[in-house]
């Protein structure tokens, strides 16, 4: 039986709210496009512009 080994390198974990605020800021700056209201992560999608 193999054991799953976790990554020992430290990394920062941030919450959903911080990620959501960053996506909203990127949409406002025009760096991302949003389908729907980007402040509602359950009903919108974000993508890179063409």
- Report the alpha-carbon distance of residue 28 to residue 8 in Å, rounded: 36
Are 49 and 43 in contact by the 8 Å Cβ rule? The answer is no
At residue 36, the pLDDT reads 94
Is 1 within a domain?
no
At residue 14, the pLDDT reads 80
DSSP per residue over 11-47, as a string?
-----HHHHHHHHHHHHHTTSSEEES-TT-TTT-EEE
- Report the alpha-carbon distance of residue 33 to residue 47 in Å, rounded: 5
Is 7 within a domain?
no
At residue 46, the pLDDT reads 94
**Number of domain units in the chain:** 1
The alpha-carbon radius of gyration of the chain (Å, integer) is 16
Residue carrying the six token digits 């911080």? 18
What pLDDT digit, counting tens, does each position of 1-50 carry? Answer: 566 666 666 777 788 899 999 999 999 999 999 999 999 989 999 999 98
Domain hosting residue 34, numbered range = 25-50
Is 31 within a domain?
yes
């Amino acid at each position: 039986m193999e054991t799953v080994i976790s990554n020992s390198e430290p990394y920062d974990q941030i919450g959903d709210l911080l990620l959501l605020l960053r996506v909203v800021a990127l949409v406002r700056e025009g760096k991302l496009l949003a389908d729907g209201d980007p402040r509602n992560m359950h009903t919108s999608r974000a993508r890179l512009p063409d």
